[in-house]
Amino acid sequence: MNLCFISGNLGDDPRNSMTTNGQSVTRFSLASKKKYIDSNGETKEITNWHRIIAWNSLADDATLLSKGDYVEVKGAESTHSYEKDGEKKYITEIVAASITVPLGYFRNKQER
């Protein structure tokens, strides 16, 4: 089963476009953070960046988001390749099945 659940903050505003056959597609980056304690007992944080892609009506809804918004994404990991300057490149993306914004996020955002 290929199922990913990632939560974090948008690293940029979503970019929406249409495919040649009229499908709406939106892409954005998502930063997830992991905290750990190093060998010196200090708390450290690692940020991982994920490429998110949404299609059709979910893509249209994702355009309502903006840089910094906290979201939870459920989807499937997908890797594809392309060639550039004679070199094969690989891209891994999360194809979103759902994008959720927790209600508490908006409450906290208004209080800032």
> Is residue 108 situated within a structural domain?
no
Q: Looking at residue 78, which CATH number applies to its domain?
A: 2.40.50.140
> Is residue 25 situated within a structural domain?
yes
Check: CB of residue 29 under 8 Å from CB of residue 12: yes
Which residue did the predictor score with more confidence, 41 or 112? 41
Tally of domains in the chain: 1
User: Residue 7: is its pLDDT beyond 70?
Assistant: yes
- The residue range of the domain holding 37 is 4-102
The span from the CA of 99 to the CA of 64, in Å, is 11
End-to-end CA distance of the chain: 40
**Strands (E) located in 38-103:** 43-55, 70-84, 87-100
Q: Which two tokens stand for residue 108?
A: 């906290």
Look at residue 32 in the predicted model and tell me its pLDDT. Answer: 96
In this prediction, residue 102 has a pLDDT band, given cuts at 50, 70 and 90, of confident
Spatial CA neighbour of 14 closest among 40, 57, 51: 51
> Is residue 74 situated within a structural domain?
yes
Look at residue 111 in the predicted model and tell me its pLDDT. Answer: 62
In this prediction, residue 104 has a pLDDT band, given cuts at 50, 70 and 90, of confident
Q: Give the total residue count for the chain.
A: 112
User: Residue 105: is its pLDDT beyond 70?
Assistant: no
> Is residue 109 situated within a structural domain?
no
In this prediction, residue 103 has a pLDDT band, given cuts at 50, 70 and 90, of confident
Q: How far is residue 26 CA from its own chain's centroid?
A: 10
- Mean pLDDT (the chain) is 93
